């Protein structure tokens, strides 16, 4: 059997068509769903059991656990789904992939969804020509599905025709004579076949062919099935390589989940197979150990029972699995000490509409950084230890550099994705986020200026009076209230943020009113005692700086609510 360069290009082109179809479909879904996507996914994964059912249904429809797990990784990469929710969906995907074995066993052929491709393209074409955004997005979804199914079909046809060359597998008979080691050999074979074919369904089909020819028995076929569960994790891990830390955690969780299942199954492997054998004999189906014609049914039962049992055993330990992968892959920017963007990524998982959600999470994280920076200022006022005081000043200076860099990186990212095909709503959100990012950078500059004012005050050996200190901390409290409302709005929808806007305006008015009030009291204090002039000078600068931060916070709240955007 020959496999030339043209055959390789055909295989590679089929894979590219499959990936392009997945990307087109995913972007169409994102454009169509818009902000509703988060609520849709939240409803579909509201608890771990519904998440399992979602994964099962998705994989059953697409007939590819690899495709469904790559989609899950891309959603986690964008922040649409958290790690806990994704593990439930992946468990369901493992169960969903067992339907292929049943279709082959009971119908004698694999369901060819690709027959729907041309009708779907026929439906999508007029929709793509529509000027209405929602209809255009629906056309993109149908086209993506069609290309995905067509790519899968071409992929299966372009792999070396192993069915037509059964002699290639005759060497496998020689691997059955090594006792317990044969189980591990066939487990490895199942892993390698699934990695090579990028489809556990295709490997299952080949396994059933080998058992049908009598090359291997029930036990060795079951070992190959276990190997498929490891091999099918490779696709998600490859996709996660170009994703962020959350995508990598999801792919790792998928791998760990499957490996745990294989470990406990190997411990009771013979017993488990014997129980399935007794069950089939009891119900008059015949023994897969003795009757080769019953092996496909036996492997289908084994595949299904194993994946369901593994999911039931581990579904209660999801939180521990989450902790483990978080420990293995810690967040690179958890303490905000480095100017690295945690949610942004590039490569295959970099999709325009999903990038909007990534940008939202990164902008919120940027706001948290600014809030953290602001809270160094009260610490500087009360700190008496010289070494700690110096450390705090260095931290503020470092954070100011970080805010400058992050603002540039976020703005560059937003400009980059704004050039892609986006819905009008997504384009508007990007414009708002650019404004928010600019205002956060201003807050960082003001905080750095406040730290410089306090450093100069200390150098001049000037002290705030007790009443000035009290007023400053009252102002800090008002600004912190503004920060908290701003953080709430950044997690809310546009409508919710708009409803909270009067509260944001009231807080800004309170800050302005307090500034005016303390300015008058400062003038009175100077008239009573002129020695307070220098302290009043620094005090006024601090109060004015806080008021500027209050203005920036209001601008951010207005941008999130979609009002007063220039």
- pLDDT per position as a tens digit, 129-174: 887 877 888 888 888 878 877 776 776 576 555 455 555 555 565 5
- Specify whether the CB–CB gap between 448 and 392 falls below 8 A: no
Provide the domain limits for residue 202.
177-330
Q: Are 376 and 322 found together in one domain?
A: no
- Pick the last residue of a domain from 330, 359, 375: 330
User: Please, is 518 exposed, middle or buried when counting C-beta atoms within 10 Å of its C-beta (0-12, 13-18, 19+)?
Assistant: buried
228 pLDDT higher than 80 = yes
Structure tokens at 83: 């790690």
Q: Are 297 and 255 found together in one domain?
A: yes
3-class state of residue 548 by DSSP: helix
401 pLDDT higher than 80 = yes
- Pick the last residue of a domain from 270, 303, 330: 330
Assign residue 562 a region: left if phi > 0, alpha if psi is -120 to 50, beta otherwise?
left
Is residue 109 in a domain? no
Structure tokens at 499: 């409803």
Is residue 165 in a domain? no
- Specify whether the CB–CB gap between 433 and 409 falls below 8 A: no
Maximum Cα interatomic distance, the chain, rounded to a whole number of Å: 106
The C-alpha R_g of the chain, in whole angstroms, comes to: 31
442 to 433, 480, 527, 548: CA distances (angstroms): 14, 16, 35, 9
User: Please, is 192 exposed, middle or buried when counting C-beta atoms within 10 Å of its C-beta (0-12, 13-18, 19+)?
Assistant: middle
Tell me the CA end-to-end span of the chain in Å, nearest whole number: 67
Is residue 135 in a domain? no
Q: What confidence score (pLDDT) does residue 530 get?
A: 56
Q: Are 272 and 351 found together in one domain?
A: no
346 pLDDT higher than 60 = no
Q: Are 262 and 399 found together in one domain?
A: no
User: Please, is 399 exposed, middle or buried when counting C-beta atoms within 10 Å of its C-beta (0-12, 13-18, 19+)?
Assistant: buried
Q: What is the DSSP letter of 422?
A: -
Assign residue 401 a region: left if phi > 0, alpha if psi is -120 to 50, beta otherwise?
alpha
Q: What confidence score (pLDDT) does residue 173 get?
A: 57
- Specify whether the CB–CB gap between 41 and 75 falls below 8 A: yes
319 pLDDT higher than 90 = no
Is residue 65 in a domain? no
When mean pLDDT is compared over 135-144, 338-347, 526-535, the highest value belongs to 135-144
Is residue 291 in a domain? yes
491 pLDDT higher than 50 = yes
d(CA 502, CA 496): 11
- Specify whether the CB–CB gap between 472 and 541 falls below 8 A: no
Q: What is the DSSP letter of 284?
A: T
305 pLDDT higher than 60 = yes
Q: What confidence score (pLDDT) does residue 450 get?
A: 93
Length of the chain: 566
Residue 176: which pLDDT band, with cuts at 50, 70 and 90?
Answer: low
Report the 10 Å Cβ neighbour count for 133. Answer: 14
| Average confidence (pLDDT) over 353-374 | 80
Q: What's the CATH code of the domain at 496?
A: 1.20.58.220
Is residue 494 in a domain? yes
More confident residue, 67 or 408: 408
Q: Are 392 and 288 found together in one domain?
A: no
- Specify whether the CB–CB gap between 311 and 91 falls below 8 A: yes
Q: What confidence score (pLDDT) does residue 8 get?
A: 77
- Specify whether the CB–CB gap between 69 and 199 falls below 8 A: no
The overall average pLDDT reported for the chain is 78
Structure tokens at 530: 């002129």
Q: Are 305 and 393 found together in one domain?
A: no
d(CA 301, CA 94): 14
More confident residue, 85 or 351: 85
Residue 549: which pLDDT band, with cuts at 50, 70 and 90?
Answer: very high
71 pLDDT higher than 90 = no
| Average confidence (pLDDT) over 230-256 | 77
Q: Are 353 and 285 found together in one domain?
A: no
User: Please, is 31 exposed, middle or buried when counting C-beta atoms within 10 Å of its C-beta (0-12, 13-18, 19+)?
Assistant: buried
More confident residue, 551 or 247: 551
- Pick the last residue of a domain from 277, 301, 330: 330
240 to 3, 233, 244, 437: CA distances (angstroms): 30, 11, 7, 27
Is residue 231 in a domain? yes
Least confident of 118-122, 229-233, 532-536, 542-546: 532-536
Q: What confidence score (pLDDT) does residue 519 get?
A: 80
| Average confidence (pLDDT) over 409-419 | 77
Q: What confidence score (pLDDT) does residue 371 get?
A: 92
Q: What confidence score (pLDDT) does residue 107 get?
A: 53
Q: Are 355 and 319 found together in one domain?
A: no
- Specify whether the CB–CB gap between 368 and 487 falls below 8 A: yes
- Look at the chain and report how many structural domains it folds into: 2
| Average confidence (pLDDT) over 278-301 | 82
Q: What confidence score (pLDDT) does residue 199 get?
A: 63
Q: Are 229 and 267 found together in one domain?
A: yes
Among 501, 244, 236, which residue's Cα sits nearest to residue 357? 244
Calculate helix-pair angle for 48-62, 65-77, nearest 10 degrees: 130
| Average confidence (pLDDT) over 68-96 | 76
Structure tokens at 204: 């299952």
Element (H, E) at 205: helix 200-213
- Specify whether the CB–CB gap between 243 and 73 falls below 8 A: yes
Give Cβ neighbours of residue 503 (< 8 Å, ≥ 6 apart). 485
d(CA 76, CA 101): 29
Q: Are 267 and 300 found together in one domain?
A: yes
338 pLDDT higher than 90 = no
513 pLDDT higher than 50 = yes
299 pLDDT higher than 60 = yes
> For the chain, give me the number of helices (H) and strands (E)?
23, 0
| Average confidence (pLDDT) over 420-427 | 70
Q: Are 369 and 325 found together in one domain?
A: no
414 pLDDT higher than 90 = no
Q: Are 445 and 315 found together in one domain?
A: no
Assign residue 244 a region: left if phi > 0, alpha if psi is -120 to 50, beta otherwise?
beta
Q: What confidence score (pLDDT) does residue 336 get?
A: 40
Q: What confidence score (pLDDT) does residue 523 get?
A: 73
Is residue 41 in a domain? no
């Amino acid at each position: 059997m020959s496999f030339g360069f043209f055959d390789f290009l055909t295989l590679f082109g089929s894979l590219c068509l499959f990936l392009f179809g997945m990307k087109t479909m995913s972007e169409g879904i994102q454009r169509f769903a818009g902000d509703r996507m988060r609520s849709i996914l939240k409803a579909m994964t509201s608890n771990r059991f519904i998440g399992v059912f979602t994964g099962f249904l998705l994989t059953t429809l697409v007939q590819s656990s690899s495709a469904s797990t790559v989609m899950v990784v891309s959603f986690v990469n964008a922040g649409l789904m958290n790690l806990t929710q994704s593990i439930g969906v992946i468990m369901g995907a493992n169960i969903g992939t067992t339907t292929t074995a049943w279709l082959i066993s009971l119908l004698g052929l694999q369901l060819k969804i690709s027959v729907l491709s041309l009708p779907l393209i026929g439906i999508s074409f007029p929709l793509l020509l529509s000027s209405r955004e929602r209809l255009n997005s629906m056309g993109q979804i149908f086209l993506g599905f069609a290309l995905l199914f067509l790519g899968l079909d071409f992929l299966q046809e372009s792999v070396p025709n192993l069915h037509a060359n059964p002699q290639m597998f005759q060497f496998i008979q020689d691997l059955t004579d090594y006792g317990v080691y044969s189980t591990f050999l066939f487990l490895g074979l199942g892993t390698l076949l699934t990695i090579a074919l990028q489809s556990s369904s295709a490997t299952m089909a080949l396994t059933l062919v080998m058992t049908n020819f009598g090359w291997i028995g029930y036990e060795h076929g079951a070992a190959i099935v276990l190997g498929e569960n490891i091999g099918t994790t490779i696709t998600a891990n490859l996709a996660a390589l170009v994703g962020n830390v959350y995508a990598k955690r999801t792919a790792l969780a998928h791998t760990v989940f499957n490996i745990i299942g294989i470990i406990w199954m190997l411990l009771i492997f013979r017993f488990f197979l014997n129980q399935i054998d007794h069950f089939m004999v009891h119900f008059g189906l015949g023994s897969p150990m003795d009757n080769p014609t019953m092996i496909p049914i036996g492997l289908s039962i084994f595949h299904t029972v194993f994946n369901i049992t593994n999911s039931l055993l581990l579904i209660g330990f999801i939180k521990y699995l989450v902790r483990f992968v978080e420990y293995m892959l810690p967040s690179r920017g958890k303490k905000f000490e480095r100017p690295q963007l945690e949610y942004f990524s590039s490569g295959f998982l970099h999709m325009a509409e999903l990038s909007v959600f990534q940008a939202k999470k990164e902008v919120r994280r940027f706001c948290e950084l600014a809030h953290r920076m602001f809270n160094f200022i009260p610490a500087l006022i009360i700190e008496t230890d010289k070494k700690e005081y110096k450390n705090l000043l260095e931290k503020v200076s470092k954070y100011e550099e970080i805010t400058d860099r992050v603002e540039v990186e976020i703005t560059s990212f937003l400009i980059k994705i704004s050039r892609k095909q986006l819905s009008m709503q997504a384009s508007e959100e990007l414009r708002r986020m650019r404004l928010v990012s600019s205002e956060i950078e201003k807050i960082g500059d003001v905080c750095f200026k406040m730290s410089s004012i306090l450093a100069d005050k200390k150098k001049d050996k000037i002290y705030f009076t007790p009443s000035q200190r009290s007023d400053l901390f009252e102002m800090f409290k008002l600004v912190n209230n503004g920060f908290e409302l701003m953080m709430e709005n950044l997690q809310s929808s546009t409508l919710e943020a708009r409803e909270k806007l009067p509260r944001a305006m009231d807080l800004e008015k309170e800050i302005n009113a307090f500034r005016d009030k303390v300015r008058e009291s400062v003038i009175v204090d100077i008239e009573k005692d002129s020695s307070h002039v220098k302290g009043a000078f620094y005090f006024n600068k601090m109060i004015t700086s806080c008021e500027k931060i209050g203005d920036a916070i209001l601008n951010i709240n207005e941008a999130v609510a979609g009002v007063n955007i220039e």
